[in-house]
Chains A and B, each alone.
Chain A
Amino acid sequence: MRRITKAAIAFGAVFSLALAGCSSGAPATTPATTTPAGTGAAGQLPATTIKILAPSYSESSKTDWEKIITEFNKKQPNVKVELQIEGWDNFSSKVQARIQAKDYPDILNDNAFAGAAEAGLLYPITEVMSEATIKSIEPALLKNGTGADGKQWAAPDIASSRLLAYNTDLFAKAGVAAAPKTWAELEDAAKKIAALGGGVAGYGLPLGQEEAQVESSLWLWGAGGDWAVNGKLVANQPTAVEAFAQMKKLVDGGMTQPNAGATNRQQAADLFNNGKLGMMLSHSGLLKETREKFPQTKFDLAPIPSKSGTPVAFGVTDFIIAFDNKDANRKEATKQFLDIMYSDALYEGWYKGTGLLPVTTSQIAKGKASDTNNAKFYEALSYVKFLPVGNPQWDVLQKALQGTAGTITSDTPENVLKKIQAQVDAQG
């Protein structure tokens, strides 16, 4: 009898130990807070809190936001602003954690909005921005924030376009005269540069988690295709097979950096900065770093090569979206905050901190006139094509691409696209 009890207790102990051990908890979020103090006055909102969740574009991101918060608090001293800044590589899981905890940020700076819009969590952005602010945004970019239902759910806050950055020293050494325009020329140039040896790679192909969706879209467009086929996003299509086959050709031919399937764009940029990479598709933010910290690396920019030679123009905008917290005061505070944020005085400093391009017409004009480093990016911005971010299906396709596109290094293009399509269909 005694032994049985003992055994039961032992089993119970093991069981609860296992129970506690086997269930993993959700990570907690610790928002950084700024606490303004003040008392009420005319035109001021009562004490309330608005929450901002934003990614870190650069080391200055936190202070860039805090400048806007300080300005906002001068006008609304009773409104507390909670700012949480997170790194890009795991940003979507932080957003997910907040949504699951029903702790919706009033203002979210992200690169996707369709899923949240479809779930009915958002204010149309026109409700939390004055008409003047909306009008100040370049219409071609603003359009990118429209959902599948035609509503304006998001407002762009920064834009970037992609171009081919190439190391002019390596090009000269390898005897490549001009930047490649077609895939064939790119292959040729990459081969010659890789042949230089000394750990130098021809083309930087970042198919890791961070940006596989961008890189594979660029190649798809270069093949003359598009993810959208008859209004539906399709991964497994002939032009995509062609695009993936071309990427695989580069990998198999030893023309890319090693481990292309596990490389993020920053890691490719590190190689580029250190003069170990001939070319890669890059943006103004990354090249700002090259200019400032790696002056010995000489580079130039060219349009993105395609199969036929017609340049691929690719743009990205990130967005401001506003979650509906069913609180009129918070909504009004959000509106006033965003109006301040997009005002010329504050927006200029904020967007420059990101290293990317502005979205308001006045700043674009100013940048075009003064920012010679990024002249080519501004030029490209006028004719770019965007990822189908307004389509809720894109969220699913994007994640499938991020996880699986990299397997191209060890699998056939047909199989990789079949896997991606299967993942998308299973969630249909």
Chain B
Amino acid sequence: MAPPQRRGRWQETLAALPWLAPTLVLIAGVVAYPTILMAWTATRKYNSYGVERGSAGLDNFIGPAGALTFPTVPIPRILLNTVVWVTVVVFITLVLSLLLAQFLNKPFRGRKLLRLIIILPWASSVVMTTTVFNYGLQPDVGLFNRLLVDTGILDAAYGFTKNPTSAFWVAVFVAIYVSLPFTTYTILAGLQSVPDDILEAAHVDGANTVQRYWRIVFPLLRPSMAVAALINIINVFNSLPILKILNETPGYNTGHTTTTLIFEYKAQLGPGVASALSLVNFAFCLVVIAVYLAVVQPTREV
């Protein structure tokens, strides 16, 4: 008997196509088309109303009113802000989530209720949460300000949202607050998959608590930490509402990240320059992710 003839690679792909088609259409429509449109928009000239005025070449990037060269925009500071924003928010979120997950993994009374409470910030809309913080931080009517003044921490109410630098750090705080639930749950899922018998075996072999944690639990958490970190990086990098709502200072102030700057450009310079910065932003985002992958190597086998 001759072995059955091996079908060609192409034929195989072709046969798989009907099953892949919906996904491919989705990717083409939702990912590829907007990206191509954005790249095209970035090379066109628009007035601030959004009326197209022919080709712009690279003017939207580096022309007199280009994304990277528009006068009075503190570009280096904004790039630095973006890096600080992503690293600080993601790092603190991960550390706090690790602690929280550890705690929630221990059996105790009321654990279910506590787990529910911790997931709440995730269940409410980011815009709503941030708006509540914004109201609370208003100098004349804000409850947080009132609390800080009444407890004597502040002498007088402070306009946290009226100054780009303080608004930025308040935004960092809120971003951590809204990122915690998802991250905690991802890590908690990882913790629950650590097999008990390995830990018991280590215990029998004489490993103490610290050794058991750093030599066994932590390495096993690597995949879930990697997922949590990567999704957080992308999410935080693109987070517009938190910074936008909390920073009430208008114009090209020092509280922007590249993502909020895109919005500022869209209003003042039109969609061409905004798209140009979106492309730069995209490249920048990839660099941040690449650095993360290179430094942390989260996909390395344990």
Per DSSP, are chain A's interface residues mostly helix, strand or loop, or mixed?
A: helix
Q: Does A92 contact B (CB under 8 A)?
A: yes
Beyond A96-B267, A426-B64, whether A404 also contacts B251 by CB under 8 A is: yes
User: Chain A contacts of B64 at CB under 8 A?
Assistant: 425-428
Q: Is the CB of A258 within 8 A of B162?
A: yes
Choose one: A16, A119, A262, A428; the contact of B249 (CB below 8 Å): A262
Q: Which residue of B lies closest to A96 (CB)?
A: B50
Beyond A402-B250, A403-B250, whether A16 also contacts B140 by CB under 8 A is: no
Q: Is the CB of B278 within 8 A of A23?
A: yes
Q: Which residue of B lies closest to A400 (CB)?
A: B268
User: Chain A contacts of B286 at CB under 8 A?
Assistant: 15, 18, 22
Q: Does A21 contact B (CB under 8 A)?
A: yes
User: Chain A contacts of B238 at CB under 8 A?
Assistant: 21-22, 24
Q: Does B252 contact A (CB under 8 A)?
A: yes
Beyond A93-B267, A258-B139, A406-B251, whether A21 also contacts B235 by CB under 8 A is: yes
Beyond A24-B259, A199-B140, whether A399 also contacts B35 by CB under 8 A is: no
State how many angstroms separate the Cβ of B225 from the closest Cβ of chain A.
15
Q: Does B48 contact A (CB under 8 A)?
A: yes
User: Chain A contacts of B27 at CB under 8 A?
Assistant: 16
Interface centre among B27, B49, B235, B249 (most CB of A within 10 A): B49
State how many angstroms separate the Cβ of B150 from the closest Cβ of chain A.
15
Complex Cα gap A423–B49 (Å)? 16
Q: Does B240 contact A (CB under 8 A)?
A: yes
Q: Is the CB of B50 within 8 A of A407?
A: no
Q: Does A116 contact B (CB under 8 A)?
A: yes
Which A residues between 212 and 263 are near B, CB-CB below 8 angstroms? Answer: 212, 258-259, 261-263
Q: Is the CB of B268 within 8 A of A93?
A: no
Q: Is the CB of A426 within 8 A of B252?
A: no
Contact with B along A379-404 (1 / 0, CB 8 A): 00000000000000001100110111
Q: Does B185 contact A (CB under 8 A)?
A: no
Choose one: B139, B161, B253, B281; the contact of A22 (CB below 8 Å): B281
User: Chain A contacts of B50 at CB under 8 A?
Assistant: 96-97, 99-100
Q: Is the CB of A22 within 8 A of B251?
A: no
User: Chain B contacts of A19 at CB under 8 A?
Assistant: 31, 35, 282
Q: Which residue of A lies closest to B284 (CB)?
A: A22
User: Chain B contacts of A92 at CB under 8 A?
Assistant: 267
Q: Is the CB of A99 within 8 A of B49?
A: yes
User: Chain A contacts of B72 at CB under 8 A?
Assistant: 404, 419, 422-423
Complex Cα gap A93–B48 (Å)? 10
Q: Does B105 contact A (CB under 8 A)?
A: no
Complex Cα gap A406–B162 (Å)? 11
State how many angstroms separate the Cβ of B34 from the closest Cβ of chain A.
6
Q: Is the CB of A119 within 8 A of B248?
A: no
User: Chain A contacts of B282 at CB under 8 A?
Assistant: 18-19, 22-23
Contact with B along A118-141 (1 / 0, CB 8 A): 110100000000000000000000
Contact with B along A2-33 (1 / 0, CB 8 A): 00000100100011111111111100000000
Q: List 15 A-B pairs, Cβ < 8 Å.
A: A14-B289, A18-B285, A23-B282, A25-B34, A92-B267, A96-B266, A96-B267, A99-B49, A208-B250, A259-B163, A399-B48, A402-B251, A403-B268, A426-B71, A427-B64
Q: Which residues of A contact B (CB under 8 A)?
A: 7, 10, 14-25, 92-93, 95-97, 99-100, 115-116, 118-119, 121, 199, 208-209, 212, 258-259, 261-263, 270-271, 276, 395-396, 399-400, 402-404, 406-407, 419, 422-423, 425-428
Known: A16-B27, A24-B278, A427-B48. 4 other contacts (CB 8 A): A23-B282, A24-B238, A258-B139, A428-B64
Q: Which residues of B contact A (CB under 8 A)?
A: 27, 30-31, 34-35, 38, 47-51, 64-65, 70-72, 139-140, 159, 161-163, 230-231, 234-235, 237-238, 240, 248-253, 259, 262, 264, 266-271, 278, 281-282, 285-286, 289, 293, 299
Which 10 A/B pairs are nearest by Cβ-Cβ distance? Answer: A403-B251, A259-B162, A422-B71, A209-B250, A100-B50, A21-B234, A119-B51, A262-B162, A22-B282, A419-B72
